[in-house]
């Protein structure tokens, strides 16, 4: 070899089989199987959904903290929050406290599920003295517009009789007034970035209830009811809080939590992968690299929309570093992604096998395919 190679491995999770950290470790083993002397930098990533806390905490040398908070059905759950190295930034995945995975399929009902536990995690971050919050809002079980989150932080929601509203998206249909005077004052000194990879508005055919309500247990009748409730919420946010966020792309994310975080907490919605890459100083770690390896479970044309491989490829292209994607499944539509900076892409599947077999053996398959990519990469040096 002409010189010691510098290689960055920066994958997303392979959903259902490998976390982003496990995927990065498998890729690193594949690199070192061929290039034992290579300088390998592990940079497990997330687009703002699953794995956000782990990715930012591991890479920054932070710590994971566990708290008991209110789950989406009002019962206690154990939720993990991250504190990045330095202690100034907390990382929260709303799904840890208010996620669909926490609700048994036969109990899913967005009329009653709440984001209260997400608000409790935000309060815990404030207790730790954090001045910067990164909140990932994928995977929600809720459709309450972030009302529960705000209730946990002191905001009051009233009906026509001046009575406080209860929990769940269905309660928004009775909303008459919002009082933010008791909102936790510590939020005034905090910057909140919201990792969001969807562009849905709060209401309408592409809004929170219509697009995501059914997967959370909503019947067609419930979808219409919830959409009207969010329309009411949007109007009262404008009147009582002075914030018109309903049509902002991403306002409908996580059952309208995007809207609630913007209007009530001053949060800023950003691309999840761009936020993560910036927070982890991708440019600094990848500058001067000979190769960047990334990957995810399924790689296709949809990967261009806020997914990890595209974020990595675009930044790699700007640095002049080749980027190779190694994925569980690669669909023909992925071909268009070469123009985004993907030098080449490969599937880990090396023989006919079932999905279960592929998922169970993902670590070994990923390691082996990475080794083959490295053999191809270094072959030019032997000419």
Res 380: pLDDT: 65
Cα separation, 322 vs 342, in Å, equals: 7
Tell me the pLDDT band of 355, cut-offs 50, 70 and 90: confident
Q: 220 and 303: one domain?
A: no
Res 1: pLDDT: 41
Q: 185 and 105: one domain?
A: yes
Domain span holding position 326: 6-45+283-382
Domain end residue (candidates: 227, 253, 272): 272
Q: 64 and 178: one domain?
A: yes
Tokens 């279960």 sit at which residue?
356
Cα separation, 28 vs 297, in Å, equals: 17
Cα separation, 205 vs 70, in Å, equals: 31
Average pLDDT, the chain: 93
Please give the torsion angle defined by the CA atoms of residues 198, 19, 92 and 105, in that order, rounded to the nearest 10 degrees: 70
Q: 174 and 244: one domain?
A: yes
CB distance 276 to 295 below 8 Å: no
In 3-state terms, what secondary structure has residue 156?
Answer: strand
Res 47: pLDDT: 83
How would you label 244-267 residue by residue, b for 16+ Cβ within 10 Å and e otherwise? ebbebebbbbbbbbbbbbbbbbeb
CATH number at residue 16: 3.40.50.10350
CATH number at residue 196: 3.90.1510.10
Cα separation, 28 vs 206, in Å, equals: 41
The pTM for the full model equals: 0.84
Closest of 100, 113, 254 to residue 170, by C-alpha: 113
Half-sphere exposure of 154 (CA within 13 A, CB side): 11
Q: Which two tokens stand for residue 107?
A: 């109990």
Is 158 domain-assigned?
yes
Tokens 């504190």 sit at which residue?
83
Cα separation, 234 vs 229, in Å, equals: 9
When divided into structural domains, the chain yields a total of 2
Res 306: pLDDT: 73
pLDDT of 50-109, one tens digit each?
A: 788 988 888 788 999 999 999 999 999 999 999 998 889 999 999 999 999 999 999 999
CB distance 156 to 178 below 8 Å: yes
Cα separation, 98 vs 117, in Å, equals: 6
């Amino acid at each position: 070899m002409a010189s010691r190679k510098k290689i960055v491995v920066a994958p997303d999770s392979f959903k259902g089989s490998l976390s982003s950290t496990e995927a990065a470790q498998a890729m690193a083993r594949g690199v070192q199987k061929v290039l034992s002397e290579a300088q390998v930098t592990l940079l497990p990533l997330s687009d703002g959904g699953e794995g956000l806390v782990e990715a930012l905490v591991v890479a920054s040398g932070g710590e994971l903290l566990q708290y008991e908070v209110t789950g989406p059905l009002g019962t206690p759950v154990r939720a993990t929050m991250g504190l990045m190295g330095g202690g100034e930034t907390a990382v929260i995945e709303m799904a840890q406290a208010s996620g669909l995975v926490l609700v048994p399929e036969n109990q899913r009902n967005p009329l009653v599920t709440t984001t209260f536990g997400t608000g409790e995690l935000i309060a815990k971050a404030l207790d730790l003295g954090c001045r910067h919050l990164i909140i990932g809002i994928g995977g929600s079980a809720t459709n309450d517009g972030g009302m529960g989150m705000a209730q946990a932080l002191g905001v009051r929601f009233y009906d026509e009789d001046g009575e406080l509203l209860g929990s769940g998206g269905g309660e928004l249909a009775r909303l008459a007034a919002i009082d933010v005077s008791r909102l936790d004052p510590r939020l005034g000194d905090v910057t909140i970035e919201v990792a969001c990879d969807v562009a849905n508005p709060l209401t309408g055919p592409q809004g929170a209830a219509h697009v995501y309500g059914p997967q959370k247990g909503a019947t067609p009748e419930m979808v219409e009811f919830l959409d009207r409730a969010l329309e009411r919420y949007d109007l009262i946010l404008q009147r009582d809080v002075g914030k018109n966020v309903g049509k902002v792309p991403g306002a409908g994310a996580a059952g309208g939590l995007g809207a609630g975080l913007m209007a009530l907490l001053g949060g800023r919605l950003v691309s999840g992968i761009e936020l993560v890459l910036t927070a982890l100083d991708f440019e600094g770690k990848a500058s001067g690299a000979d190769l960047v390896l990334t990957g995810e479970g399924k790689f296709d044309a949809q990967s261009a929309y806020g997914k990890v491989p595209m974020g990595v490829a675009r930044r790699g292209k700007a640095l002049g570093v080749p980027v190779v994607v190694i994925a569980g499944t690669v669909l023909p539509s992925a071909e268009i992604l070469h123009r985004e900076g993907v030098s080449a892409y490969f599937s880990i599947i090396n023989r006919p096998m079932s999905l279960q077999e592929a998922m169970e053996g993902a670590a070994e398959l990923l390691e082996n395919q990475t080794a083959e990519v490295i053999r191809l990469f270094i072959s030019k040096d032997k000419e």
